[in-house]
Amino acid sequence: MRTKEVDIMLRCTPIPLALLINTANSFDCEIYIDYGLTKVNVKDYAEMKKGLNTQNRNLQFSFDGIDEQAAEGRIGMLFQP
């Protein structure tokens, strides 16, 4: 299992939610945004719409599965300026 903290304010424009979900779905590992007591499944549109909180500058992503390293790198790249 890997974790990565991502600063979502580095980009001038936010990335579309659909792009984040589609990118996550291209990997075979589980991908969550961890808020401490709760986790949001990045691959689930309904869960993302309901549970995603972008009020914090940093989001803690967790990756667990076969291609977690590749997923971590790609998700990190999405938020680069």
CA distance 39 to 58: 15
Which of these, 11, 53, 9, 18, lies nearest to 33 by C-alpha position? 53
Q: What share of the chain in percent tops pLDDT 70?
A: 100
3-class secondary structure, 10:
coil
- 45: tokens are 């549109």
For the entire predicted model, the pTM comes to: 0.91
CA distance 10 to 1: 25
pLDDT band at 60 (very low <50, low <70, confident <90, very high): very high
pLDDT band at 55 (very low <50, low <70, confident <90, very high): confident
3-class secondary structure, 52:
coil
- 40: tokens are 């949001």
Residue 53 has what pLDDT?
86
Q: For residue range 36-47, list pLDDT tens digits in order.
A: 888 999 999 999
CA distance 69 to 52: 23
pLDDT band at 68 (very low <50, low <70, confident <90, very high): very high
